[in-house]
Amino acid sequence: MTMKLPDEVREQLAAAALDARQWAYVPYSNYRVGAALLTASGRIYDGVNVENAAYPSSICAERVAVFKAVSAGEREFTALAVATDNGGTPCGACRQVLAEFGTDTIVYLFDGEGNLTLETTVAALLPHNFGPQSLPPRS
């Protein structure tokens, strides 16, 4: 069951995601994305999308935030805020990466003005996900 976070925590995540957008490197799409990931330890890791002329080499803000958290030893996530101009949802690859660490993570989507456009969970964004539970037991 997903827990409800206090409004002030949601607002803090929104502000961090909106602030991070300024650092996005988006010379091709001009679609700035900022993400702020709250871990179970209480730390917030931000991320931005980074584009590349070889498009498949680009990376999304959500995955940057997750990879920063994981590289710092974090493995449990509470909530993720994503800020875009239009309140867009995470892509499939980001949904899959988030599901690896738990489908109860709350996901808040904000537009460029900071308006909440959707509050959901990773489970709702990626139903019937392929995760660790999908693999055979290791011997």
Domain spans, the chain:
7-125
In Å, how far are 11, 50, 85, 100, 109 from 53, measured between CA atoms? 34, 10, 22, 28, 27
Where residue 1 falls among pLDDT bands split at 50, 70, 90? low
CA nearest 28: which of 61, 70, 58, 68?
58
Region 60-86: mean pLDDT is: 98
Alpha helices in 21-135 (DSSP H): 61-71, 92-100, 122-125
Element (H, E) at 110: strand 106-110
Question: What percent of the chain has pLDDT above 90?
Answer: 91
pTM above 0.85, yes or no: yes
Residue 6 has pLDDT above 60, yes or no: yes
Q: How far apart are CA 115 and CA 94, in angstroms?
A: 22
Answer yes or no: are the C-beta atoms of 102 and 132 closer than 8 Å. Answer: no
* pLDDT at site 133: 84
* pLDDT at site 2: 59
Q: In CATH, what class is 7-125?
A: alpha beta
* pLDDT at site 3: 73
100 is catalytic: no
Where residue 97 falls among pLDDT bands split at 50, 70, 90? very high
Residues in contact with 20: Cβ distance below 8 Å, sequence separation at least 6, in sequence order: 34, 35, 36, 46, 47, 48, 61, 83
Active-site residue (options: 51, 62, 100, 113): 62
Residue 130 has pLDDT above 80, yes or no: yes
Q: How far apart are CA 84 and CA 114, in angstroms?
A: 9
